[in-house]
Chains A and B, each alone.
Chain A
Amino acid sequence: MITLNVNGKRLEVDVDPSTPLLWVLRDSLGLTGTKYGCGMAQCGACTVHLDGQAIRSCVKRASDAVGRQITTIEGLSTDLSHPLQRAWIEIDVPQCGYCQSGQIMSAAVLLAENPKPSDDDIDDAMSGNICRCGTYSRIREAIHRAAEMKTAGRRAE
């Protein structure tokens, strides 16, 4: 039995501590927004946050996440109000959608550390998230849009 802190909740899960975090999230906790693409840290579909940093949950042992804050796409906001979620809807980014929760989780870390990223900053942050539908240009546009919304939101406050 291990205790994980997921999206602000303490949850007990009965798994082997070496189980990849991705399996725990999807199979034990039913948080299926996070996707399985490759299982070897090569596609980015399984990206979640661990203490605010983007990690590939397919290669992270569940026991390594004990005592740390895990955030999945389900916990990014409770009401789709995160600027990235709003920008994604506005620009209609997804095609099939499979890669998109990983894309948004990576983009969220980028914007948290760099509120006004250039195209190069976006490439450096996002190149590990593969989209087989090729929505890259809309992803780029939506990140710029979310950055604007964030700055505008801050100005309005």
Chain B
Amino acid sequence: MTYLLPRLTTCVCILFVILIALLLYSVKTDALVQRDDARAKAAFLAIIPVLKHPRCLNCHANGDFPRQGDDNHIHAQNVRRGPFGHGVTAQKCSACHQEENVAGLNMPPGAPNWHLPPPNMPMIWEGKTPGQICQQMKDPKQNHGKSVEGIVEHVTSDKLVLWGWNPGEGRTLPPISHDEFAAKFQEWAKFGAACPD
């Protein structure tokens, strides 16, 4: 009887490994239910009004400078993007922007790591079609090496993204809630992350 024991253990081990593999496979296939380009594109199109809203666009606009207000005017004080997206010399973003909004009307808004995209990956959305925005966002050379999952994670939990829905007194909010926005991104990823034409 004892000579059978090692074999039995081996069998149990193999079975266990197969089970785990099956389990992992099912989780993975669940994440990507099945590719559905039409639904992925529709989900991305639903995100566009948020990306084009001033709370988001003001840091994703043309030119090496941020914008302000709902009219996207050029940031006062001649603020520049700078070599890393954090401003230049005596005018870095953190000279005025704190880790949270300063209370009161027309006070500087704030969130941790307040900055623009860096000049080598400026992530500009202004004047771009939904398809172009999507391609740019998915391109690891333009998005800091992010995978589709990385993008979803970023828009779901990054504090600067979340600031858009808590922008401080007197500032308008994007047209849909952050939960809906993040859910649309998840949907886009789930159906294969196809880009609108």
Contacts and interface: CB of A to CB of B under 8 A. Distances in A.
Interface string A9-53: 000000000000000000000000000000011100001000001
B170 to A, nearest CB: 12
Nearest to B100: A61
Given A124-B80, A127-B77, A127-B78, A55 B89 contact: no
A127 B95 CA distance: 13
B107 interface: yes
10 contacts: A40-B104, A47-B90, A55-B94, A55-B96, A59-B96, A59-B108, A124-B88, A128-B77, A128-B79, A128-B91
Contacts, number: 71
A111 B89 CA distance: 8
A113 B89 CA distance: 6
Interface string A46-75: 010000011110011100100000000000
Interface string A97-126: 000000000110110011001000101111
A38 B105 CA distance: 13
A42 B104 CA distance: 14
A126 B108 contact: no
A86 B80 CA distance: 29
B133 to A, nearest CB: 29
Given A41-B107, A121-B88, A128-B96, 16 more contacts: A40-B102, A40-B106, A40-B108, A41-B95, A47-B95, A55-B94, A55-B95, A59-B96, A59-B98, A64-B99, A124-B80, A124-B89, A125-B90, A127-B91, A128-B78, A128-B90
Contacts of B90: 47, 54, 106-107, 109-110, 125-126, 128
